[in-house]
Amino acid sequence: MNLPSQLWFKWQRLKTALREAFGSREQSYETVHRMCPHCRGLIERNASICPLCGGAVKAPASRAGTGAPGRVLGGLIPVPSTATSALVAAIIALYGISWYLTQEAAAPGAAVSLGGIDGRVLIRLGAKFGPLMFAGEWWRLVTAIFLHAGLLHIGMNLWCLFDLGPTVESLFSTTKFIVIYLVTGILGFVLSLFWSPFGISIGASGAILGLIGALIGASFHHGSLGKDLRSQLWRWVIYIGVFGLFFSADNAAHLGGLISGLTLGYFVPEGEPTTRASENFWSALAIIAVVIIAGSFALMALQLNRPIG
């Protein structure tokens, strides 16, 4: 049976998400075809003119390698796409700065830290900390997403981000991915703030649960195939929850990210924006999100010389 091109494209895209969720090494459909933004017909991924309607088509977002999506560690995790790569780079850079400042703050003659970050350094660099936030430093809702307390913490979160980021970015589009990541990360820390206003909290796990929630929310639109993906994702949520109980993670931030991600995943349309107006809308939201992130780090930098002690 021949399906309409738009429905068939969605079917293939969801299969791609399922393959990535289950660790399949099969060739990704999206590296071969994509949808024309004008007539919604299927065209070759690198085409500049749609052969069906004659409309000009923008160059697709760059992907690692050609043909099949690149994978690292023997195929365990996929090479991230552009927006995911930027997030990973920012997280690693902040961790490096955190580690350096931890050594700087250490007492003379103290042993060099093997990866743990001083809590005072985390506060200085923008951790979620109620007393300072209620005093006006609301930018910490953003900067806290990029900070991590140690090698295990950042390692687990980067592994999840490497695996989930390209899937969500492919399913929704880069602009929507940026918005979903920031909004769920912020709302996770909002719930954390009211759950534990005097606790220090940092990490990307709230936003990562938001990405899982977005995939779960989207799966409700895909019948039995979505149900299969949903059961896999709920297992992931359970694993993270159990991990959080044993390692004193911020489960309130996890819950806030998951709930907000579920909501956005259910209501935000999948795929690239289909009209010029929706394309402009999501592009504007993504730009605003990037400005918020950059502005938050600028405000953090203005108080960076505050004494740690």
* Catalytically annotated residues: 205, 254
For residue 91, give Cα distances in angstroms to 16, 174, 220, 271: 27, 18, 31, 26
| Closest-CA residue to 142 (of 293, 259, 308) | 293
Residue 78 gets which letter from DSSP? E
* Cβ–Cβ < 8 Å for 98, 304: no
Which residues face 56 on adjacent strands? Answer: 49
Q: Tell me the residue length of the chain.
A: 309
Token digits of residue 232: 């896999």
Burial per residue of 86-110, b for 16 or more beta-carbon CB atoms within 10 angstroms, e otherwise: ebbeebeebbeebbebbeebeeeee
Phi/psi at 71 (5° precision):
-135, 155
> Which residue reads 């307390």 in tokens?
149
* Cβ–Cβ < 8 Å for 50, 41: yes
* Cβ–Cβ < 8 Å for 48, 59: yes
Which residues face 72 on adjacent strands? Answer: 77
Q: What is the distance between the alpha carbons of residues 144 and 123, in angstroms, rounded to a whole number?
A: 9
